[in-house]
Structure 1
Amino acid sequence: MAKKKKYQDVDLPVPEELLQETIKQLKQGNVILYPTDTIYGIGCDATNYDAVEKIYEIKKRDHSKSMLILVDSFQMLDQYVEEVPEMAWEVLKLNKKPLTIIYDRPKGMAENLVAADNTIGIRVTNDPLCRKLISRLRRPIVSTSANFSGDPSPVHFSDISEELKNKVDYVVDLPLPGKDIKPSSIMKISSDGVIKIIRK
């Protein structure tokens, strides 16, 4: 019987078989299309260089445009940034909505994810599906919008290009959580604590 997980204000069944298959795909270095805590995303194991490269190819995305990653906890965040600024901890503790923070000096992830200025965007996700995938994989996963570079971000599964669906290795066909569907807010918090709002 499928397990029930509370997706914010919507109850969605998450079959154990689906979770196991998705983890298997990620461990094999494959690219998945999946619902995140914001919009539909394309992802892979964030420590796998070749898998990350596949995403750039699928999205027809320039390597100068870095992609963000999802972690399942503050503890995992600390593992992938040389030093999380104190200001970032304060913001994360107070924040209630999906928030991506760009950090200096990331570590332990695929080199082709890291921006030229040695930064990366990381979001601590509260989404039950994403958290379970990351926890079982024991590594962060990439989260980039499920569209070709330059196209609008898909709000509904039906908005996703059939061509794109055919290019990924595995599709996690579950509805998005919640009703307020939009990309996350983005801010940069430098090592010296300086905050810059990128997207509200």
Structure 2
Amino acid sequence: MLQSEIEKSLEVLNKGGLILYPTDTVWGIGCDATNPEAVKKVYDLKQREDSKALICLVSDTRMLAKYIYEVPEVAYQLLDASDKPTTIIYDNPINVAGNLVASDNTLAIRVASDEFCQRMVRQFKRPLVSTSANISGYPTPQSFSEINQEILKGVDYVVNLHRDKKCNKPSTIIKIGNDGVFKIIRK
């Protein structure tokens, strides 16, 4: 079942489509983080200004290093020490859609810990946009049943896994500069 859902998701992602999927935190809307048209579809669906950055998922730190010009050593230490999903905002992203990069030339990336997400991103071989499955300004759904119909109808595929699961809270977000200085944005 898991591999079947991964294959269906990859088919949609490879065509520039949007998926709705369970992550290691909350239900997310996802697309190919290297495809600017797909990223625009996410902003449009969420009715969100593209000046508000989105998070990406990578499968591991090797993949992370392909999308950040220089990963500060402290980031690896934080990821190793973290016992919960942690998103880090990095300076100087590379090889991703331009409309995904924040105006200050940063990008938020989380190394996925959920088995489905890890395997899907590894097989996709590119980072995946991961943003909460809600219209901008509305609360983040805590379960599949709370997801707005507009979101459900606006994606190209809804992953058929973990629909009965209550979601964890969103990830911790930490901003790390190339100088190694970091700031906790969300606990």
TM-score (norm 2): 0.96
Aligned Cα RMSD in Å? Answer: 1.4
Q: Which residue of 1 aligns with 2:100?
A: 113
Cα deviation, residue 133, structure 1: 0.8
| Cα distance in 2, alignment partners of residues 113 and 177 from structure 1 | 31
Per-residue CA deviation, residues 12-31 of structure 1 (Å, 9 max, x unaligned), is xx2x3222111100000000
Cα deviation, residue 176, structure 1: 6.4
The number of aligned residues is 187
Q: Which residue of 2 aligns with 1:125?
A: 112
| Cα distance in 2, alignment partners of residues 108 and 42 from structure 1 | 21
Mark the CA change 1:194 to 1:178 in structure 2 (over 3 Å): closer, same or farther: farther
Deviant stretches of 4+, over 4 Å: 176-180
Cα deviation, residue 32, structure 1: 0.4
Q: Which amino acid aligns with 2:4?
A: E
Q: 8 Å contact 1:74–1:124 — kept in the other structure?
A: yes
| Cα distance in 2, alignment partners of residues 156 and 113 from structure 1 | 26
Q: Which residue of 2 aligns with 1:47?
A: 34
Q: 8 Å contact 2:132–2:140 — kept in the other structure?
A: yes
Q: 8 Å contact 1:36–1:176 — kept in the other structure?
A: no
Cα deviation, residue 173, structure 1: 2.6
| Cα distance in 2, alignment partners of residues 46 and 177 from structure 1 | 28
Q: Which runs of no fewer than 5 residues in structure 1 stay unpaired?
A: 3-13
| Cα distance in 2, alignment partners of residues 113 and 171 from structure 1 | 22
| Cα distance in 1, alignment partners of residues 148 and 154 from structure 2 | 10
- Percentage identity across paired residues of the two chains: 50
Per-residue CA deviation, residues 17-59 of structure 1 (Å, 9 max, x unaligned), is 2221111000000000000000000000110110000000000
Secondary structure in 2 matching 1:100: strand
Per-residue CA deviation, residues 163-190 of structure 1 (Å, 9 max, x unaligned), is 2100111111321697661100001010
Matched, 1:64 2:64: no
| Cα distance in 1, alignment partners of residues 154 and 182 from structure 2 | 37
**How does 1:80-159 map onto structure 2 within 5 Å?**
80-159=67-146
Q: 8 Å contact 1:40–1:176 — kept in the other structure?
A: no
| Cα distance in 1, alignment partners of residues 163 and 88 from structure 2 | 22
The correspondence for 1:36, drawn from 23, 27, 44, is 23
